[in-house]
């Protein structure tokens, strides 16, 4: 649900998942790094409502309070997968990609911590 924006004119418009994956890959690209640990990649984010300081989430930027976040959660999960695919594709199999309490994308990740 993230709109495209231009953070780098050489790259052009991109969504946050591609932007952040590009930045992560640049960090891990040197021989000094064995991999990367990703946080906030749980497939469902609506759990934040009522259990944290978040009172609402406005994923479609409509300025309306939603009563059903199932579409947002599904799209968030799709975006997480896109993010992890971009990182894995760029880093290849030789670098570690681990996540904190993330999705069970076993084909992309080397593990996760609960």
Total count of domains within the chain: 1
The 10s digit of each residue's pLDDT in 26-84 is 988 777 888 999 988 888 888 888 777 777 888 888 898 888 999 999 999 999 999 99
- Residue 5: inside a domain: no
- Residue 67: inside a domain: yes
pTM, full prediction: 0.83
- Domain of residue 20 covers 16-113
Q: How far apart are alpha carbons 20 and 7 in whole angstroms?
A: 11
């Amino acid at each position: 649900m993230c709109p495209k924006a231009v953070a780098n004119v050489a790259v052009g418009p991109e969504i946050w998942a591609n932007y952040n994956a590009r930045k992560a890959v640049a960090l891990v690209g040197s021989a000094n790094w064995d991999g990367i640990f990703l946080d906030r990649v749980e497939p469902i984010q609506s759990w934040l409502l009522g259990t944290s300081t978040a009172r609402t989430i406005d994923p479609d930027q409509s300025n309306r309070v939603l009563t059903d976040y199932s579409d947002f959660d599904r799209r968030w999960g799709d975006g997480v997968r896109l993010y992890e695919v971009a990182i894995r594709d760029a880093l290849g199999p030789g670098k570690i990609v681990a996540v904190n309490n993330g999705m069970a994308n076993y084909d992309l990740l080397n593990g996760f911590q609960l």
